Chain A
Amino acid sequence: MALLQQILFLISLGVAGFFIRKRVLQIRSTIALGKKMTLTGPSQERIKNVLLVAFGQKKMFKKWIPAVLHFFIYAGFLIINLEVLEFIIDGLAGTHRIFAPYLGGFYHFLMNFFEFLAVAVLVACIAFLIRRNVMNIARFHSAEMKKWPRLDANLILTIEIILMGAIFTMNATDQILQTRTDHYTPTGTLFFSSFLIPVFEGLDTSTLVIIERFAWWFHILGILGFTVYVTYSKHLHIFLAFVNTYVAKLEAKGHINNMPVVTNEVKSMLGLETAAATPAEPGRFGGKDINDLSQANLIAAYSCTECGRCTSECPANLTGKKLSPRKIMMDTRDRLEEVGKSMAAGGPGLNDGKSLLGDYITKEEINACTSCNACVEACPVLINPLEIILEMRRYVAMEESGSPAQWNSMFQNIETSFAPWKFSPSDRFNWSKD
């Protein structure tokens, strides 16, 4: 029986590992479709961002209520998962609470501390479910937050609540069994789960063993299953937030990335210098599809957890325009997934006749942006929706000449009178004569 459990455990680990690996490779291959990113600036700055913004959650604390609740779940995730190490060793070796004899009193403290965190996670998840579904918080009810994104958010919270429930059930039954059989290593009283002891105390030992084992298996399979789920979910931010804060742009927010291809052409047009070996195929100007965006933009799309802080600060969105920076990131991710799935199935991938701009994001959305950087400032994990919007405007302006008519007039004014308005350039200095 014990050996059978060990074999089953090994198989479970293997199955989970297989699916996780498959997903990680698929996500990596879709990110690889993007333009290679060049990370400029000092890497100390990047490491500082990872430590302060991702690890330290600095930007979350602009809104302190969700920040504290989120911190509970985050700390719980980081620390309770240390226990998973023991689960895995126990599962493979057929042992039970292998660390307990070695750690002694510290094990007792640790288990109590984990239980305290589990309670904090439970409280936070319930509060988040209430915030999301009962309280009328606008950013959770925007147009893009219907169907799957909404279900995804509620599923994550519910799964976490159930997983915490499993921990308490396991610990409560374990504590009763410790008094009845030698196999169950004494842990000392575990404060929170001991409240559940009266619920189970009347049951006979064999039933309790089944419940304890069920809770143990449920918890570990739940965690493995949840990890696979996370790779399909917005919850992927728990890993990619760290990556994203590292690759996020360091320049002043007002800076727009230069296009060296254009610099070469402009220089040769102005006869400034013979452009050094212009690339044979300059490719597309600007962004039409995911492969026109930088890999950093694509990592950002996978890092987005759809909290909507960007959209709730966006002046265009606040005044009823279609633009939602969160939707820009969600669309980018959806398109990545579509292409990834197609490639994995041997399909046409990028050449499926669709594109991010057009099939997912409309011109009406990108044209409404005021480039005010409110979304960039708001993002707790340094995602930059503005970069994607501007790449698309570049595509529309330079490849399609499809900018709004008034912008085309503005372009013409700059070309002919060197100002965005139609004034005679020789009148530029008239203000000094008035």
Chain B
Amino acid sequence: MNAPTMADLAAKGEKPEVLFWVGCAGSFDDRAKRVTKAFVKILNAVGTRFAVLGNEETCTGDPARRAGNEFLFQMQAMNNIQVLNAYDVKKIVTACPHCFNTLKNEYPELGGNYEVIHHSTFLQQLINEGKIKLSGGGTFKGKKITYHDSCYLGRANNIYEAPREVLQALDADLVEMKKCRTTGLCCGAGGAQMFKEPEKGNQDINIARTEDALSTGASTIAVACPFCMTMMTDGVKNKEKESSVQVKDLAELIAESIK
């Protein structure tokens, strides 16, 4: 897989247009790794000069900060900022809304100032610029897709339309859940919930959200976040619908339809 590292490029005295921040889920989680690869496939297909940090990347500190461990967050942030600044990084794209939010909104106060964009916006731009050409009469024509808003893209950063425009480019029938956009229901993983069992209640949040998604009758649940991916996939399995309903990231849907 052609994914040059910043170190590779620096050795050749080169700089990429954009740094692809992979994130911990995108690096280690088997399901999220497929999204990482799909996004790299797109970047290579459109000829974007990009690079990754490879083993020099570390957790942004998002879950530590949200769980209350400010020391650990700032240690991570400072170390990452040192690396990013040493490579003189100007622009970052990431497929993780949590990394996106932290890099964009929380690193500037600690000395890390970059243009940070989420891959949904990046893909939308590529489509609008005509750089991504989708195969006509696509596999999604007439099929129902529902989009699950990630809290860290939507309410946290007001990105509601970019992912939807990407899906519309697929010529699919985009159906909305009753709770969407500003009132979209969380998948249950945010705020470091991904890393612990939920508190006592009468239902798990991801099951409630999966029910919302299934009730649209969509055969594809589109997500734009690795944590949402895990939660919704688990939800679909819990409802024993994995044979008829797939959970896919925007990047995978585009990569599959690319000419």
Contact = CB atoms under 8 A, between A and B. Distances in A.
Interface of A: 251-256, 258-259, 262-263, 265-267, 269-270, 272, 285-286, 313, 315-316, 318-323, 364, 367-374, 376-378, 390, 392-398, 403-404, 406-407, 409-411, 414-415, 418-421, 423, 425-434
A406 B156 contact: no
B67 interface: yes
Contact of A419 (B28, B101, B190): B28
A322 B199 contact: yes
Interface stretch (B53-61, B165-173, B237-245): B53-61
Among A270, A323, A395, A411, max chain B CB count under 10 A is at A411
A262 B70 contact: yes
Given A256-B66, A373-B156, A390-B68, A319 B190 contact: no
A156 B205 CA distance: 36
* Interface of chain B, main secondary structure: helix
Given A315-B205, A368-B201, 10 more contacts: A254-B156, A266-B74, A272-B78, A315-B186, A367-B196, A373-B151, A407-B196, A409-B195, A410-B196, A414-B72
Interface of B: 1, 3, 5, 22, 24, 26-29, 33, 36-37, 40, 52, 54-55, 57-59, 61, 63-72, 74-76, 78-79, 101, 104-106, 109-110, 151-152, 155-158, 182-183, 185-186, 188-205, 208-209
A370 B231 CA distance: 13
A370 B68 contact: no
Contacts of B202: 319-320
Nearest to B195: A410
Contact of B201 (A265, A320, A371, A378): A320
B49 to A, nearest CB: 17
Contacts of A322: 199-200
B201 A316 contact: yes
A407 B192 contact: yes
B196 to A, nearest CB: 4
Contacts of B78: 266-267, 270, 272
Contact of A370 (B3, B191, B197): B191
B189 A370 contact: yes
A372 B105 CA distance: 16
Shortest 5 CB-CB distances between A and B: which pairs? A254-B156, A371-B191, A393-B68, A397-B68, A320-B202
B200 A421 contact: no
Contacts of B190: 370-372
A254 B108 CA distance: 14
12 contacts: A252-B156, A254-B155, A265-B71, A319-B205, A320-B203, A374-B151, A374-B155, A397-B70, A407-B196, A429-B55, A432-B54, A434-B33
A265 B201 CA distance: 39
A397 B98 CA distance: 20
Among A285, A395, A431, max chain B CB count under 10 A is at A431
Contacts of A378: 183
A418 B36 contact: no
A258 B68 CA distance: 12
Given A315-B186, A368-B198, A414 B76 contact: yes
Contacts of A374: 151, 155, 183, 185-186
A254 B105 contact: yes
B68 A394 contact: yes
Contacts of A421: 24, 28-29
A374 to B, nearest CB: 7
Given A372-B151, A406-B195, A406-B196, A263 B74 contact: yes
B10 to A, nearest CB: 16
B120 to A, nearest CB: 15
A392 B52 CA distance: 36
Among A258, A319, A411, A421, max chain B CB count under 10 A is at A319
Contact of A398 (B58, B71, B191, B203): B71
B182 to A, nearest CB: 5
Contacts of A364: 199-200
B67 A397 contact: yes
Contact of B188 (A253, A315, A404): A315
A119 to B, nearest CB: 34
B158 A252 contact: yes
Given A315-B205, A321-B199, A371-B190, A431 B27 contact: yes
Contacts of B201: 316, 319-321, 368
B54 A429 contact: yes
Among B57, B79, B193, B194, max chain A CB count under 10 A is at B193
A347 B142 CA distance: 71
Nearest to A286: B68
A270 B61 CA distance: 16
Contact of B1 (A255, A418, A434): A434
A254 B55 contact: no
Contacts of A259: 70, 74
Contact of B68 (A315, A396, A426, A428): A396
B155 A376 contact: yes
Contacts of B185: 315, 318, 374
B3 A432 contact: yes
Contacts of B79: 270
Nearest to A255: B105
A367 B199 contact: yes
